[in-house]
Amino acid sequence: MNRTALKKIPLRAVPFPGWGQKVYRWIFALFLIQFVLVWSSLWAPWPNFGNARWPDGLLVVLAAATTLVSLTRQLPAQNVMLASAIIVVIAGAVHTLSALSGIPFGPCRYTKRVGQVLFEPLPWAVPLVWVIAILNARGVGRLVLRPWRKARNYGFWLMGLTTFLVVLFDLGLEPFATQVKHFWEWGPSRAGLYWYTTPWVNFVGWVVTALLILAFATPSLINKKPVKPPPDYHPLVVWGLVNGLLITGAVSHGLWVAAGMGSAGVVLVVIFASRGRDDI
């Protein structure tokens, strides 16, 4: 069937017209509802989840789902699935290696509170956290770098900024995971410098892992359409909310340095991402 014939097909003849946008809205709405529930549980005894692990796990699943569904509005679904598979495989392999040998993140032991394992010793949620971090950080980076999107080294700048945002996310994640939720514990090391029991080498490992992931996943994330899409603020919203949750956890447990650094980082990123212009 040629292009002219396709144009003549009435909208009602197309199966499930507009279903993609509807799915995106429903998943995003579910993510927001679950976010509010988990965020509220950090402040008040209601909803009384107790030691239940499913609220945090469901939030991770919905955050990853809304991230992927939103990205399919800009890229073909097969590209999004390929990129997410690359992230899951590389992040899962590196974290498994680190849990067994301490390289590259340092000596870390996952507790039962982090949930079930995909295979020993990798918790199922860890690769999904990387999907959320990488894809939303890259989306935020594209917003910040809009004025320089035609620059010769734009791709390298985007990879560098994405890596920086991923590490900034981990700076908030580590106190939340070790001091608030007790998802994992760090063992003794010769690092010398620590961030709420997390050795500095962990953040070097995140830099290396993020760059490795981006080197393989970026070709699948490049929009090859001739028409430039409008700015997508969905990654900024998800990135801001997730970091806001980490900041809230830090405040609720008196981790003021982590809360202050996280708040400053989010405010600056939101300002730069919101002020990027398309007319340059």
Give me the mean pLDDT over the 35-64 stretch. 87
Q: How far is CA 183 from CA 11, 59, 123, 175, 261, in A?
A: 49, 15, 10, 10, 21
CA distance 238 to 132: 9
Q: Note the pLDDT tens digit of each residue in 57-113.
A: 999 999 999 999 999 998 999 999 999 999 999 999 999 999 999 999 999 999 999
Q: State percent of the chain over pLDDT 70.
A: 88
Asked if pLDDT for residue 280 goes beyond 60, the answer is no
Decide which of 279 and 264 is more confident.
264
Q: What is the dihedral of CA 58, 63, 65, 68, to 10 degrees?
A: -160
Separation between Cα atoms, residue 130 and residue 132, nearest integer Å: 5
Q: What is the largest CA-CA distance in the chain?
A: 69
On the question of pLDDT at 15 being above 60, the answer is no
| Tokens 């007790």, located at residue | 182
Q: In which band, very low, low, confident or very high, does the pLDDT at 11 lie, cut at 50, 70 and 90?
A: very low
- pLDDT on residue 55: 92
Tell me which residue has tokens 């609220």: 55
On whether the pTM is more than 0.75, the answer is yes
> What is the rounded distance in angstroms from the CA atom of residue 172 to the CA atom of residue 249?
9
- The secondary structure element, H or E, covering residue 142 is helix 125-144
Annotated domain spans of the chain:
73-223+233-280
